[in-house]
Amino acid sequence: MTTLKRRTFLSAGAAAALGTVSGIAQAKSFDPMPAQWDENFDVIVIGSGFAGLAAACEAKNQGAGNVIVLEKMRSAGGNSVINGGIMSVPGSAFQKALGIKDSLELLAEDMIREGLGYNYPEKVSAMTKAALPTYEWLVKEIGVEFVDGKVGQEGGHSVPRHVYTTNGSGSGIVSKQLEYAKKIGVPVRLRCYVEAIIRDSDGRVKGVKVRDGYRFGKPDSGKVKYLKAGKALVLCYGGFGADVNFRMKFDPKLTDKFETTNQPGATSELWREASRIGCNMIQTDWIQCGPWNSPEEKGMGIALYFAQGAAATMGIWVNTATGKRFINELANRKVRADAVINNNNKGQPCIALADQNAVDLTINQTRKGILDKQLERKVVHKFDTLEAVAAEYKIPLDELKKTIDAYNAALAKQSGDEMGRPFTKNAKPMGTGPWYCSLLSPKVHHCMGGVETNSLGQVIDISTDKPIPGLYAAGESTGGVHGAVRLGSCATMDCLVNGRIAGANAAKESAWS
Amino acid sequence: MTTLKRRTFLSAGAAAALGTVSGIAQAKSFDPMPAQWDENFDVIVIGSGFAGLAAACEAKNQGAGNVIVLEKMRSAGGNSVINGGIMSVPGSAFQKALGIKDSLELLAEDMIREGLGYNYPEKVSAMTKAALPTYEWLVKEIGVEFVDGKVGQEGGHSVPRHVYTTNGSGSGIVSKQLEYAKKIGVPVRLRCYVEAIIRDSDGRVKGVKVRDGYRFGKPDSGKVKYLKAGKALVLCYGGFGADVNFRMKFDPKLTDKFETTNQPGATSELWREASRIGCNMIQTDWIQCGPWNSPEEKGMGIALYFAQGAAATMGIWVNTATGKRFINELANRKVRADAVINNNNKGQPCIALADQNAVDLTINQTRKGILDKQLERKVVHKFDTLEAVAAEYKIPLDELKKTIDAYNAALAKQSGDEMGRPFTKNAKPMGTGPWYCSLLSPKVHHCMGGVETNSLGQVIDISTDKPIPGLYAAGESTGGVHGAVRLGSCATMDCLVNGRIAGANAAKESAWS
């Protein structure tokens, strides 16, 4: 009886939803088409980061014809070019050589657990499957160079699984993507700002209105032009981390007191425009702060490579007021950023702390030369003794010593870390000076939400639940991949894998006329 | 130097965002107006729950003229009519008589802390200020009856602060609102389904396309009509908790395995439609499950009044596999629902447990007769001994006894509850049979997100950040009030306070012609 009732109830609900959707669709209104197009393309890609360049090149290689990448800023690469240059590759040869046991399922589990189950399972599964082939494509086709034999571990991952670009930055990928794009005939047009997406009365996206020769910060600059997308438009415009007003609509805590790691062009205009033309915007209020940034430099900076790469794996993070650790330094970014923010709000600054052994075993191998730069820029500071560290940051010395003793004791037993942090292979007890420190101050880093897409990268219409004809998306502009919390080294994978999927499917669209 | 750089950076970003918005606005497209309107109104309110009825009556009283409420279902009241009939009233005479110290600031703190700071602070502040006057209006103007002298405490609240309707249901409010609406000349048109919102080329919302005589579940039923809103349209259409497909877009975990406490009409069509016409949808992925529901009945049911009203305050919640408590029974709904879901997923059912003293001191006073109904419907079960409880639910008896002893010991000292739960005034030690139990199974309950509104209840345009002329909203259809987690007894307050604000301001709109 209960079962029967339930079925009736559910089927009534399903029918209503269906009817509703078809009812709304007929009332839909769309944009007027321009009297004529100024330029004609087959596939237009908005955004020149990892995802946009991957989408455009894949579209070109799949026979899309005339492909162009539009970038509003005066240089290419968006946030990707200032990204840390790490990428999750489960099952890499490097992992195997180091005897690290990993699997696609384990990566998917990590992503979904830390993403609080907000991830779309089919997207996670598709992405993890494509990670290794995409890495091989990067190396063999695009010519990207990675640090030989090194594998790192970001917070929230169960095992070390990310590779490092040799130049220690996402620019090591973007620069090669740009060379490749040039080689295969995909132009990147800089200072070309997309002011409107044209969705015609038949529901298809057919082009964009741009300001060509746009100067960032001058809204009326550039020449207005209409560009036709004969096959498809691909949205790879990234996040809105630098847009204080817009991000506060979704998370009012993220006021202008929070800096951002993002480049200044990470603003909201195309998020608004995507919503206006009928895209479904999902999970937009999950905006991640990077927990490892330093208040002693602007933007993303370079201190994080110490705080994360050395201190979080072979050192500790310390609350200067108490001399104690306050979080699992390998917890996910949200958990750590929240913990640091709470301490900062109480007037208790936090530092990342590591000794000479720790930096020698980590960043001095994976990011050669970075430590000198960090010291030179005074974002990482060097002290001969622990006493000097305590004096500088006003840390109770006895408590700090107890904290280090406890960490060393647990490390020696390989069990019982007081914060539940897994022990990093080859980690040595802390104690050999000199010591290194950076201050911690979370900055707005990544938008987990975005347009809803299906497994082909097609963008879903809010009214009909069907793909919007001629519209694709990938990367930070999409939602549902990372769920509530993006794990470090998973954005590069997301952008490249899903950029290629979107580009390949965009190329297959039939042309309208 | 750093300060200067930062200022330059921020002002560049701000200028860009501004330019962007004005740039997009000119490209906006809108709906065609109907050739003629079938019926003319000054203010049209969609939805007949607490918010819709409050908005319509307030608009009428403020001189709006011809006001109507549209309801797609065959009876009025939406989820409000099956709501538990409790409302937060900080500073009530009942609180004072009981010596409970409360303040507007304390309620705001509770809401924002449990809402994880996603609440818009100005909305919380306005609502808490209006709570007591709204309660007095309910009693004096609308004629709602509340249980004399009784004040209750829901999870996440620091102190007992909610009043109870005498009939133990939101229907005790809705029925009086309906009488009042009739008295002042505000008709409620049932089976009138809004298929489209008409937003004209000047950007103003001017009316709706409806199906009059609609039958829920039959999308093509009813007669198509165009209704003119000469002053304003007010969106009080509620949440989408019953729409499995739509809710899974935002939180993929909430599959059809989760039942809902909502009435079947709580579907997504107007959420989609609001987005289509250019509303900004915020915080849509915060969808709350009620932690206290029973799998032994459909929908909201009545077992929750035992699980929450008796067991969470003067009894305990127990994991049957371990015999132990597993959560602060007065934690917020999300924390508790997540804990129960995790246990259920591990195959460890949870129960709410209370003894005769507990029910006598709680629901037997505030909801007279409910316990008999709960027992009759077999959603609360009665046992003579603790041994019988343990046998029925396969609980390790020794562990269960230890758990109760620990609770009683902490209660006796008035400190050290193992789950950090505050002690309820006058609570007695557990131990006097008979015992009462209900099974726990979270059900989808409340959508925290919705359209962005300002403090006047005006709906904000995604492209321009300005109010959409002629469009207002209140209640569950709006976001930013409750943040990540709505506290129990705050929805009634939200709907009534913000419904009245939206209605009053809608009445003040100048008429278009």
A138 falls within a domain: yes
Domain annotation covers residue B165: yes
Taking contacts as CB-CB distances below 8 angstroms, the residues of chain B near A21 are 269, 272
pLDDT in tens, A394-435: 999 999 999 999 999 999 999 989 999 989 888 999 998 999
Same domain membership, residue B482 and residue B370: no
**What is d(CA B7, CA A417) in angstroms, rounded to the nearest whole number?**
43
Strand order in the sheet with B350-355: B316-319, B350-355, B435-439, B381-383
Do B237 and B281 share a structural domain? yes
Per-residue pLDDT of chain B (513 residues; tens, 9 = 90+): 333 333 333 333 333 333 333 333 334 567 889 999 999 999 999 999 999 999 999 999 999 999 999 999 999 999 999 999 999 999 999 999 999 999 999 999 999 998 989 999 999 999 999 999 999 999 999 999 999 999 999 989 999 999 999 999 999 999 999 999 999 999 999 999 999 999 998 999 999 999 999 999 999 999 999 999 999 999 999 999 999 999 999 999 999 999 999 999 999 999 999 999 999 999 999 999 999 999 999 988 999 999 999 999 999 999 999 999 999 999 888 889 989 998 988 899 999 999 999 999 999 998 889 999 999 999 999 999 999 999 999 999 999 999 999 999 999 999 989 999 989 888 999 998 999 999 999 999 999 999 999 999 999 999 999 999 999 999 999 999 999 999 999 999 999 999 999 999 999 999 998
Query: What is the distance between the alpha carbons of residues B489 and B332, in angstroms, rounded to a whole number?
Result: 12
What pLDDT is recorded for position A19? 34
- Best B112, B280, B345 member to test A by mutation, with max A CBs in 10 Å, is B280
The predicted model scores a pTM of 0.90
Q: Do A40 and A188 fall into the same domain? A: yes
Do B214 and B145 have their domain in common?
no
pLDDT band at A334 (very low <50, low <70, confident <90, very high): confident
Which of B131, B155, B183 is the C-terminal boundary of a domain?
B183
Residues B308 and B283 in one domain: no
> Which residue does chain A place closest to B21, by CA atoms?
A269
Nearest to A506 by CA among A81, A41, A147: A41
Determine the residue among B191, B218, B227, B272 to mutate to test chain A binding: the one whose Cβ has the most chain A Cβ atoms within 10 Å.
B272
A117: nearest CA partner in chain B: B253
Determine, yes or no, domain membership for B115: yes
Distance CA A30, CA B29 (A): 6
Q: What mean pLDDT comes out for the span A370-399? A: 97
Best CA proximity match to A375, nearest among A422, A454, A309, A437: A437
Closest in B17, B218, B298 to A243, CB measured: B17
| C-alpha dihedral (B249, B253, B255, B261), degrees to nearest 10 | -100
Q: How far is CA A171 from the centre of its chain?
A: 14
- pLDDT per position as a tens digit, A69-86: 999 999 999 999 999 999
B470 belongs to a structural domain: yes
Q: Look at residues B425, B441, B457 and tell me which one is the last residue of a structural domain.
A: B441
CB neighbours of B315 closer than 8 A, spacing ≥ 6? B329, B352, B353, B354, B355, B358, B430, B436
Percent of chain A scoring above 70 in pLDDT: 94
CB proximity under 8 Å: B 233-292 to A: 242-246, 249-253, 256, 259, 264-265, 267-269, 272-273, 275-276, 278, 280-286
What residues of chain A lie within 8 A of the CB of B278, using their CB?
275-276
Domain of B384: which CATH number?
3.90.700.10
Q: Specify whether B230 is located in the same domain as B279.
A: yes
Query: Nearest 5°: CA angle at B470, between B465 and B471?
Result: 65
Same domain for B383 and B261:
no
CB A74 within 8 A of CB A252: no
DSSP A274-343: HHHTTBPEESTT-EEEETT--TTSSSS-SHHHHIIIIIHHHSEEEETTTTB--S-TTS-HHHHHHHHHHH
- Last residue of some domain: A381, A414, A441? A441
Run of H or E residues at B345: helix B333-345
Give the one of B246, B276, B278 whose C-beta lies nearest to A17's C-beta.
B246
Residue A500 · residue A493 · CB < 8 Å: no
B294–A contact, CB cutoff 8 A: no
* B218 to chain A, closest Cα gap in Å: 7
Q: What is the average pLDDT across A203-225?
A: 96
Domain range for residue A419?
A: 292-441
List the single range of A142-146, A333-337, B481-485 with lowest mean pLDDT.
A333-337
Q: B37 lies in a domain?
A: no
A317: left (phi over 0), alpha (psi -120 to 50) or beta: beta
The answer to whether the beta carbons of residues A472 and A232 sit under 8 Å apart is: yes
| DSSP alpha helix (H) spans, B115-268 | 121-137, 171-184, 244-250
Nearest CA in chain A to B22: A219
Q: Are residues A436 and A455 in the same domain?
A: no
Q: pLDDT tens digits for A430-474?
A: 998 999 999 999 999 999 999 999 999 999 999 999 999 999 999
Regarding whether B85 and B129 lie in a shared domain, the answer is yes
Domain count, chain B: 3
Candidates B29, B117, B275; nearest CB to A29: B29
Domain check: are A90 and A40 in the same one? yes
What percent of chain A lies above the pLDDT cut of 90? 87
Segment 131-160 of chain B within 8 Å of chain A by CB: none
Residue B60 falls within a domain, yes or no? no
Per-residue model confidence (pLDDT) at position A13: 37
On the question of pLDDT at A24 being above 80, the answer is no
* CATH number of the domain where residue B90 is located: 3.50.50.60
Same domain assignment for residues A217 and A344:
no
Q: How far apart are CA B58 and CA B68, in angstroms?
A: 12
- Give a yes or no: residue B204 inside a domain: yes
- Tell if the CB–CB gap between B18 and A242 is shorter than 8 Å: no
Q: Is residue A429 part of a domain?
A: yes
Question: Distance from B121 to chain A by nearest Cα, in Å?
Answer: 8
- Over the stretch A184-199, which tens digit does the pLDDT of each residue have? 999 999 999 999 999 9
B272 and B370 inside one domain: no
Which two tokens mark A177? 């993507």
Q: Using one digit for the tens of pLDDT, what is the confidence trace for A260-305?
A: 999 999 999 999 999 999 999 999 999 999 999 999 999 889 999 9
